[in-house]
Structure 1
Amino acid sequence: MSAGFSNMLKVLALVALVVGLGSCREHEQGRPLVYEQGQYGGKKDTPLTAEQDRALELRGRKQDF
């Protein structure tokens, strides 16, 4: 192998490494990779306000035949 070819191969390997590491998005870091069946792993819902709860109750009553 010539020295020029060896250096070019090293540069290409370095570029591939930099591109590979740079393509990891920050918001994808730390996400779960293994999921448990029947277990919700997301964030907890925020509780409804009294006004939202009342509006939902009234909306449900409109659907009662």
Structure 2
Amino acid sequence: MKCRFLREADELLSNLSVCFHHNITVIFRVIRVHDRNNFILLVTMFGRTPTYHSSRSER
């Protein structure tokens, strides 16, 4: 049972990482088109997103 759970968790993690890398490549394509100020804005928004979601779920 434990081995099966670990294997499923591993598959889920690999799927998530693929999705994450795909999103990063899309973001970097957008960055190349835009200038450096927009890049900084995007990074700050991207950095704040996880804390925003966690603070919303706590309420």
- Which TM class, normalised by the smaller chain length? 0.3 to 0.5
- Given the two structures, how large is their TM-score scaled by the length of structure 2? 0.44
Higher share of residues assigned helix: 2
* Greater radius of gyration (CA): 1
- Given the two structures, how large is their TM-score scaled by the length of structure 1? 0.41
